[in-house]
Structure 1
Amino acid sequence: MDFQPDAGLDTFRQDVREFVRAGLPAELAGKPRGSVRSQRAEVERWQRVLNEKGWGAPYWAQKDGGTGWSVLQQLIFDEECVAAGTPTQDGFAQKLLGPVLNAFASPEQKAEHLPHIFSGTRLWCQGFSEPGSGSDLASLRTRADRDGDHYVVNGQKIWTSYAHEADWIFLLVRTDQEARKQAGITFLLVDMKTPGITVRPIRSIDDCHHLNETFFDNVRVPVANRIGAEGDGWKITKFLLNNEHATAADLPILKRYLMEIRKLAASQKAGRNSLIARHEFALRLARFDAEVNAIAMMVKRVAAMEQDHSPAAHAMGSMLKIRGTELQQRMSEFLVESLGDYGAVAYPEPHAEGAEPPLPMQGMGRGIANEMFFRRASTIYGGTSEVQRGIIAKAVFQL
């Protein structure tokens, strides 16, 4: 493919950068670091700003009320937002559930849920993984038994990110106990206020609360909340998980890490000299620079494959996931190492208020140790590296 600079994309990037610079309220800038979802009020306020610009759904087609941007334009938007430290949108609603609703939901379901996604007033979580059914998602055991106009749901989900804050959950359940495991799965939307739902926190290694166990005890869900036909859950899930492969590496985070390492290179001292004067630091920075640029080129290649609907994009996306997440881990570790003693300063809650010790480059140093711990999970969530390697092997060797 052609890797020459695209003047149209350069102009688009400048437009996004100018909009973010002018439209981002000062009190919202610089948080969170990217590993945590913003607080509800911040999500809603930023969503209103994007809606006024006509960018409320950056990842959707124009026919669905979105921007109609290409994959590369979406990536540029993400990069500029991460670099500026904007609040997050609700990624579960915008990137995962929204496209599913646009493709599979009834008009009544769209009318019920899409306006709340645009306003940011209904936060979502994802109920997929279960104890013993993480990498092998199709082996899930949470069941939903039909009882008239309702399903009665019983079971447990785990690693349910932001379930303690979510208003609704999109949920995979087993509705046919006899069918082969992929065929008996159904996709439901469930109000988290429904009686019988219990959320129990999981404190993760980064000392934050964003993960949960979620229990369903005779939870009655209207059949009207089913997306697609009964048993269509696996088909819908494949659509959801395979929607975008070029984003698997999380390139905006990698570029932000590279920018922060460069800032530290000039500002942080090692003895009398700046870090960049140290040969071993300069060498590692150069290697990170080369690796990020290589991933950026691979992202463009996968984006072109997606635009051409090439089946090879699936395996290439898995390669990106492995390389990108492993690089996230190495770069976040290097940032902590580069901050020296300051890198060990941990903050139990990213949103916590109170006195803080002085840090070099305060905005960047705050919480970097927590983020390094968070990135230990990046090779697990979204499909483990082992699963990704299996996908690559099957695609390349046609197993």
Structure 2
Amino acid sequence: MDFQPDAGLDAFRAEVRAFLRDNLPRELAGKPVGSVRSMRPDLMRWQQILHRQGWGAPYWAKKDGGTGWSVLQRLVFDEECVAAGAPTQDGFAHKLLGPVLNAFASEEQKAAHVPHILSGERLWCQGFSEPGSGSDLASLRTRAEREGDFYVVNGQKIWTSYAHESDWIFLLVRTDAEVKKQAGISFLLVDMKTPGITVRPIRSIDDCHHLNETFFDNVRVPVANRIGAEGDGWTITKFLLNNEHASAAELPLLRRYLMQLRQLAAIQRVGREPLIARPEFALRLARMEAEVSAIAMMVKRVAALEQDHSPAAHALGSMLKVRGTELQQRISSLMVEALGDYGAVAYPEPHHACEGEPMPFQETGRGIANEMFFRRASTIYGGTSEVQRGIIAKMLFQL
């Protein structure tokens, strides 16, 4: 691929930076982001600002109401938003459900949901994983039995991120238990206010509440809320999970970690000198910077393959997922080490200042321990490293 500077991409980056400088409210910039997305009020306000600019759906084609940006432009947009400290968008709606609606939904279904996604009025969560059905998603047991114009849904989902803050859920259910397990799955959209839905919080290892158990007890869902035909759920799910390979490594996050680590190392002192002046630490930092640079080059390669609709993007995206998430874990662990004695402190709520004796670098260090704990899950969510390695091996075997 061609790694020469792209003048058009540089101009686009300048446009995004100017927009962020002029439109990102000061009170929203730099606020801590939840483990997956920003807090609901911040996210909704930022979505409204983007929508007014015509940037409400940066990952969608223009014909679907999106910006029509290239894969590389979307990566630039994400990088600049992270660098500016902007709130997130609702990734479940924009990166997962949105492409499914655009590809499989009826015009009536699009009219019912797309405007609310673009305006930020309706937030979504994902109902896929179940107890005992994580990596083997096709073994799910939540069932939906048809009664006239409704499905009656019974079962349980787990690790449902932000179910307690979401308005709707996109849900995989078993509508036929007599056929091959992949063939008996359907894809439903469900209003979280429907009677029979119970959300129970799970406090995760980072001591935050973003995960939940979600229970369905005789929940009546209109058949009109099914996307695609009955039994098409597995096909739709594969489409959903195969989107955005170039973003699998979360490159903007890795770059933010490096910046934060450098800031910490410049403030933290070992004897009379800053930590960053210690050769052993500087060497570890340099190695991680080199790894992030290598991932950045691979992201560009995968983006180019996605642009050309090459099937190789799938395997390389899996490689990015493995290397990127493992690096997230190592850098976040090194940040805790850089905190020195303060690294042993567990901060109970990263959205608030620490109580008790203030740290000498409280703002820079806030939430690092929580972030390190959360990143233990990076190699599990979004497809475990074991599953990703299986995809890579299968692709190499085919070559």
Superposition TM-score, scaled by structure 1 size: 0.97
Q: What SS does the aligned partner of 1:31 have? A: coil
1:349 and 2:329 matched: no
In the TM superposition, what is the alpha-carbon distance from 1:33 to its structure 2 partner?
3.8
Give, in angstroms, the shift of residue 21 of structure 1. Answer: 1.9
SS of 2:246's partner is: coil
1:250/1:361 CA distance change after superposition, 3 Å: same
Shift in Å, 1:129: 0.4
2:169 matches 1:169: yes
Q: Which moved more, 1:251-260 or 1:346-355?
A: 346-355
Equivalent residue number for residue 181 of structure 2: 181
Tell me the residue number matched to 1:335: 335
Structure 1 range deviating more: 317-326 or 107-116: 107-116
Give the whole-Å Cα distance in 2 for the aligned partners of 1:18 and 1:346.
Answer: 38
Tell me, in whole angstroms, the C-alpha distance in 1 between the residues paired with 2:235 and 2:341.
50
* Matched residue type, 1:20: L
Cα distance change on mapping 1:23 and 1:344 into 2, 3 Å: farther
Equivalent residue of 1:131, what SS?
A: coil
Find the aligned partners of 1:33 and 1:358 in 2 and give their Cα distance.
22
3-state SS in 1 of match to 2:183:
coil
Give the secondary-structure state (helix, strand or coil) at the position aligned to 1:246: helix
Letter of the 1:45 partner, please give it. Answer: R
Task: Point out the more displaced range, 330-339 or 12-21.
Answer: 12-21
Aligned residues of 2:124 and 2:170 also touching (Cα < 8 A)? yes
The separation in 2 between residues aligned to 1:388 and 1:48, in whole angstroms, is 36
| Structure 1 pair 361–81 and aligned structure 2 pair: CA distance change class (3 A) | farther
- Report if the CA contact (8 A) 1:346-1:368 is conserved: no
Select between 357-366 and 127-136 the one with higher mean Cα deviation.
357-366
Cα-to-partner distance string for 1:231-257 (whole Å, 9 max, x where unaligned): 111111111100111111011100111
Structure 2 counterpart of 1:213: 213
Corresponding letter in the other structure for 2:382: G
Which amino acid is the alignment partner of residue 22 of structure 1?
A: D
Once the two structures are TM-superposed, the CA of residue 355 in structure 1 deviates from its matched residue by 4.9
Aligned to 1:148: 148
> 1:25-36 alignment to 2 at 5 Å?
25-33=25-33, 35-36=35-36
Deviation of the 1:122 alpha carbon: 0.9
**8 Å Cα contact 2:33-2:88 kept in structure 1:** no
**C-alpha contact (below 8 Å) 2:347/2:354 kept by paired residues:** no
Cα distance change on mapping 1:367 and 1:235 into 2, 3 Å: same
- SS of 2:388's partner is helix
The 5 A counterparts of 1:90-239 are 90-239=90-239
Q: CA deviation at 1:34?
A: 5.7
Inter-partner Cα distance in structure 2 for 1:300 and 1:171:
33
State the SS of the aligned residue for 1:27: coil
Residue 250 (structure 2) pairs with residue 245 (structure 1)? no
- Report the aligned-residue RMSD: 1.5
AA matched with 2:26: A
Structure 1 residues 105 and 357: alpha-carbon distance in aligned structure 2, compared to 1, 3 A threshold: farther
Number of aligned residue pairs? 399
Distance in structure 2 (CA, Å) of the matches to 1:354 and 1:108: 49
The superposition leaves residues 96-120 of structure 1 with CA deviations (integer Å, 9 ceiling, x where unpaired) of 1111111111111111111111111
1:255 alignment partner in structure 2: 255
Indicate conservation of the 8 Å contact 2:168/2:189, yes or no: yes
Q: Determine the C-alpha separation between the residues in 2 that align with 1:354 and 1:386.
A: 37
* Gap regions ≥5 residues in structure 2: none
State the match for 1:267 in structure 2. 267
What 5-or-longer segments of structure 1 have no aligned partner?
Answer: none
Deviations 1:131-152 (A, max 9, x none): 1110011111111011000001
Q: How many Å separate the matches in 2 of 1:225 and 1:97?
A: 13
- Tell me whether 94-103 or 287-296 shows the greater mean CA deviation: 94-103
Letter matched to residue 102 of structure 2? N
1:300 partner amino acid:
K
For 1:375, the equivalent position in structure 2 comes to: 375
Classify the secondary structure of the residue corresponding to 1:166. Answer: coil
Could you tell me how far 1:350 is from its partner in structure 2? 3.2
Deviation at 1:155, TM superposition (A): 0.8
- The alpha-carbon deviation at position 356 of structure 1 amounts to 6.5
Q: Which amino acid counterpart does residue 291 of structure 2 have in structure 1? A: E
- The structural deviation recorded for 1:332 is 0.4
- CA–CA distance in structure 2, aligned partners of residues 45 and 309 of structure 1: 34
What is the match of residue 23 of structure 1?
Answer: 23
Q: CA deviation at 1:276?
A: 1.8
Show CA shifts across 1:310-336 (max 9, x none): 111111111000000000000001111
Aligned twin of 1:297: 297
Q: Which residue identity lines up with residue 231 of structure 1 in the other structure?
A: G
Partner in structure 2 of residue 89 of structure 1? 89
- Preserved CA contact (<8 Å) 1:260 1:364: yes
